[in-house]
Structure 1
């Protein structure tokens, strides 16, 4: 289903694989919206709950799915990414688990994309990772562990939730600066202010949804901080 909402990529080919949920009542409404000129929205692929895949934009072209955002200090996520929309009502219309048939097809689709483009595991991302203050998708129910088991993305076993030490909105000082530094090192857009501001809270929420979904509260507790440490330690050395 070709979408008119596309243009040429700027710069090199994609280095990000970006996953969304549709956040609409059903898949057919989402598909229609993604092909309407008035929407100014598109993606490369849509995966229905029964596993059916629809392509809207060739991977070589720039689909309009990411909006304003940043990753590792670079913007224009649309030019940098292949975008997959996953049919799910989202938090607004009745967020629910992703069916097995859908997840199996997402895995196959992602493996194909990764075979065609030089996308690092750490750059297989949620929409919320690149736009923490605006987006929640694909959310805390998305099975990143199943993708990782198939060789897709970057993941570690989350540190168990325990202890009472934490950083939260309004806190200030060196520990907050250190947490902001960790977020920036991984790729999140956070200004190092040494103050736990709203931007830091949103980035913490996004991180938890992707990497520590057991509790998504925007609080940098021991588990959240330790999980991010593990992720950074698991990255391959810089050449």
Structure 2
């Protein structure tokens, strides 16, 4: 393919060869946000369009707010990798991916530029409206690949995005003392925590053991929804925020 008509009117086209058909008749129901994790936006865009990389994304949003589309939304971009959310193990086939230029944790995780976030909001709202994506299906790469991915990171402004109509978010409970669950703990409280995380959509075994996987999922949850402290410890603030989030889901969804 040498060109295509962009799906988002404000995007510039640049074709990436790294795509394929969506699999198993899966339809688009999710939007996944990433950071590029590379020193420059130009380098990241080139890498996403390089056959040697075997990665791609539907869109990249530069620091100045410029949006480039590299894969048609109808096609399967290679942005999610091994991933899971609410029963789907091929998130590439049921999602649209947006890469946001930022050097990431290795580069000090600097704040995202205001113009860039405004552009992400506008692009996301357009994608959500055209594909009828539910708020709770707007996710970070770290949500669908805990322990493997940490982007877009704990400095990503999920709250302002939700206020603008992009994503599902609640005010996190303040960090404070009190009872907590952490690595090595056993029993019904751990089982209840795992059940709530799985109910929201995370992949975690409900085995009543606070194992390494549970810690990774708690960290992913904190990185998105309780960003003041990302330590994998299910403290009172983390558990209360998770309760609030589940209570804020549409009627019936939190019981599936």
Q: 2:217 aligns with which of 196, 203, 207?
A: 203
Deviation, structure 1 residue 55: 0.5
Give the aligned CA root-mean-square deviation in angstroms: 0.9
Deviation, structure 1 residue 164: 2.3
Q: 2:85 aligns with which of 71, 77, 100?
A: 71
The corresponding residue for 1:144 is 158
Pair 1:5 & 2:30 matched: no
More helix by share: 1
Deviation, structure 1 residue 203: 0.5
Deviation, structure 1 residue 118: 2.0
Paired residue secondary structure (2:231): coil
CA separation in 2, counterparts of 1:112 and 1:21? 20
Q: 2:122 aligns with which of 108, 112, 136?
A: 108
CA separation in 2, counterparts of 1:181 and 1:128? 19
Taking structure 1 as the reference length, what is the TM-score of the superposition?
0.98
Q: 2:173 aligns with which of 140, 143, 159?
A: 159
**Conserved in 2, the CA contact under 8 Å of 1:13 and 1:60?**
no
The corresponding residue for 1:19 is 33
CA separation in 2, counterparts of 1:144 and 1:161? 18
The corresponding residue for 2:11 is none
Pair 1:228 & 2:238 matched: no
Paired residue secondary structure (1:85): strand
Deviation, structure 1 residue 13: 2.1
Paired residue secondary structure (1:78): coil
Tell me which stretches of 4 or more aligned residues in structure 1 moved more than 4 Å.
none
1:141-168, CA deviations, whole angstroms, 9 ceiling, x for partnerless residues? Answer: 0001111111111001111112221001
Taking structure 2 as the reference length, what is the TM-score of the superposition?
0.92
CA separation in 1, counterparts of 2:252 and 2:76? 29
**Conserved in 2, the CA contact under 8 Å of 1:13 and 1:117?**
no
